[in-house]
Amino acid sequence: MQRPEAWPRPHPGEGAAAAQAGGPAPPVRAGEPAGLRLQEPSLYTIKAVFILDNDGHRLLAKYYDDTFPSLKEQMAFEKNVFNKTSRTDSEIAFFGGMTIVYKSSIDLFLYVVGSSNENELMLMSVLTCLFESLSHVLRKNVEKRWLLENMDGAFLVLDEIVDGGVILESDAQQVIQKVNFRVLQSAKEQIKWSLLK
């Protein structure tokens, strides 16, 4: 007989829904409440990434799910997160059922948001990659003025790290190479079109 720990995680259609439909449900572990189940692993790790200035105003933000569907809800969330994190020295916060990792640099606050059960190390690797990549793009001046002057580069960096909530890359050197390649391709296209005119 298999030990209970070796049973696979429930897949969509298993568990309570399957039990209602008459199908088998994985056994409940001893001492585990009947409704408690491990969540199915997902590639959709990141809920949001945003950068605020030292007054809590949005400079850059991307949301990858519908947790905060409207701009008003997003801004309220950002303000609450900023108020909770701006005066602390820690790097991780739990707020509103979400795990938030953050880092400050001169007059910027960088945030990466995941679900409450998300691995903090995964989120931290995204934050570190974002900071190191921006540091390279902004020539080691990770501050508001330089970010505003290089916003297109900042969005390129973010797009190479996260796409639709899925982590694509967590190595800053790889991100920088991909961003440089995209910039070079764009420059070639511009030259091509200027020669055709």
One pLDDT digit (tens) per residue for the chain, 197 residues: 444 444 344 433 444 443 344 444 455 555 555 555 566 667 888 999 999 999 999 999 999 999 999 999 999 999 999 999 988 878 999 988 899 999 998 889 999 999 988 889 999 999 999 999 999 888 888 889 988 988 988 999 999 999 999 999 999 999 999 888 887 777 777 787 777 76
Question: Whole-model pTM?
Answer: 0.74
Alpha-helix residue ranges (DSSP H) falling in the chain: 16-21, 71-85, 120-137, 144-149, 151-161, 172-196
Per-residue pLDDT tens digits for 140-186: 888 899 889 889 889 999 999 999 999 999 999 999 998 888 877 77
Phi, psi angles (nearest 5°) of residue 9? -65, 150
Q: Measuring CA to CA, how many Å separate 14 from each of 6, 27, 35, 159?
A: 16, 11, 13, 35
**Residue 41 has which token pair?**
């692993």
Instruction: Count Cα neighbours of 195 within 13 Å in the Cβ-side half-sphere.
Output: 6
Coil, strand or helix at 113 = strand
Element holding 129 (H helix, E strand)? helix 120-137
